[in-house]
Amino acid sequence: MQDEPERVETRACVVGGGPAGMMCGFLLARAGVPVVVLEKHADFFRDFRGDTIHPSTLELMYELGLLDRFLKVPHDEVREIGAWVGSSFMRVGDFTGLPTHCKFLAFMPQWDFLDFLAREARAYPAFSLRMQADVDGLIFDGERIAGVRAALPDGRLEVRATLVIGADGRHSVVRPDAGLEVETFGAPMDVLWFRVPRTPSDPGQVLGRVDRGKMLIMLDRGDYFQCGFLIRKGAFDEIQQRGLPAFREDIASLAPFLKDRLDSIAQWSDVRLLTVTIDRLRRWWRPGLLCIGDAAHAMSPIGGVGINLAVQDAVAAANILWPALRDGSAPPALLERVQRRREFPTRVTQGIQVMIQNNVIRRVLGIDTPLSPPWPLRLLNRFRALRGIPARLVGIGVRPEHVQTPDVSAQPAR
């Protein structure tokens, strides 16, 4: 093991190789800004991560000239979404009328999305991706943050940077170390994630099944379903005490066609608990540091919009910061401008999520009788034009961003 830490200097150091971090690193490098992205894992393969690529993100791929290559990555395309409520199937969202080039949701494992961004980013000399670099502290220069310290498999790393971009998710190391204050809004539920084998005769992408106080999310991953079972906040211990057979019965009651293969959930280690949190930093920055994505605002899984919000943050940050960073500065006024740009859509989206959690999910999880679709769902199911409203909220969101960073490889040599 090395005695002295490896030392690197750069303009931007991005902590976290998730959707926000990889997109921000790619866009800054594309604009000629030297950037180092630090990812603590050896690869991007992690199960039970969001895998919904929204039309707004696909539109960004189009603007970047990457859409054709991106759509060659294996994925499923969903143009209409619906859910089973009791014994009735309700169509709730229609993406075919959106003003985007891709009028569908793309379901793609997140590790494939991140691998794609990493491959494209490596085409730019300004881009560096360091895997297995586990950031465990910030470097301070007075009140200003001047870089990060990280553990490597064989030693230590210090990265000095004009700007540190914290994109290390809802369990961020960066934001508490920087003393940034978090506002928490709570959630009435948690989610249990697990896999169930899929057969060719199974129904296609339905997304949701709701009845008798139970809610099940099902994402078609080809040869298996990635399933999320919603539970009351803090109820996992109680469910474990009831035992795996009772848990399997709960699942089978919502999706009977799965009953003959639920023995794939052989032990509780096959079930992953996602503790649902909605929170937001009061201030996303301090001199030398900007937080984006889940590090700035943890989202509920409702609508699968977390990736979309993270990517939009990254685009806004790159659009606003690239000229200053390329010149070697990161004025606080620009960091504040990024927050102003992205705080409004974050507040609106989280507000909708909190409303759905408190007025729909909390009530559903407390009803132990057969459900019938409420009148708003019946209206959406009956009138196709109305289904464009939730499709726009989910697929495009509030204040979508557009690429404004240049491509240095497309510019003539000076």
In 48-68, which positions are buried (b, 16+ CB within 10 angstroms) versus exposed (e)?
bbbbbbbbbbbbbbeebebbe
Cα separation, 406 vs 30, in Å, equals 7
Q: In the prediction, which pLDDT does 323 show?
A: 98
Radius of gyration over alpha carbons of the chain, in Å?
A: 22
Q: Which of 128, 133, 66, 126 is CA-nearest to residue 102? A: 66
Torsion of CA 330, 334, 338, 341, to 10 degrees: -170
Q: Is the sign of the CA dihedral 246, 213, 397, 382 positive or negative?
A: positive
Residues in the chain: 414
**Per-residue pLDDT reduced to its tens digit, 379-393:** 999 999 999 999 999
Instruction: Indicate the residue type of 88.
Output: S
Max CA distance (Å), the chain: 72
Task: Write the CATH number of the domain with boundaries 1-51+109-186+277-364.
Answer: 3.50.50.60
Residue 50 has a pLDDT of: 67
Asked if residue 115 lies in contact with residue 44, where contact means CB atoms within 8 angstroms, the answer is: yes
Q: What is the pLDDT of residue 301?
A: 84
DSSP 222-245: SSEEEEEEEEETT-HHHHHHH-HH
Residue in the structure block whose two tokens are 């143009």: 79
**Residue 26 φ then ψ, to 5°:** -60, -50
Query: Which residues of the chain are modeled with pLDDT < 70?
Result: 1-2, 46-50, 204-206, 410-414
Domain parsing of the chain, residue ranges? 1-51+109-186+277-364, 189-274
β-pairing, 52-53 with 105-107?
Answer: antiparallel
Taking the mean position of all CA atoms in its chain, how far away is CA 268? Answer: 25
Count the Cβ atoms, other than its own, within 10 Å of residue 330: 24
* 116: amino acid identity, one letter: F
What are the φ and ψ backbone dihedral angles of 138, each rounded to 5 degrees?
-100, 155
pTM of the model: 0.92
Alpha helix segments (H runs only) across 133-289: 174-177, 236-242, 244-254
- pLDDT at position 361 is 86
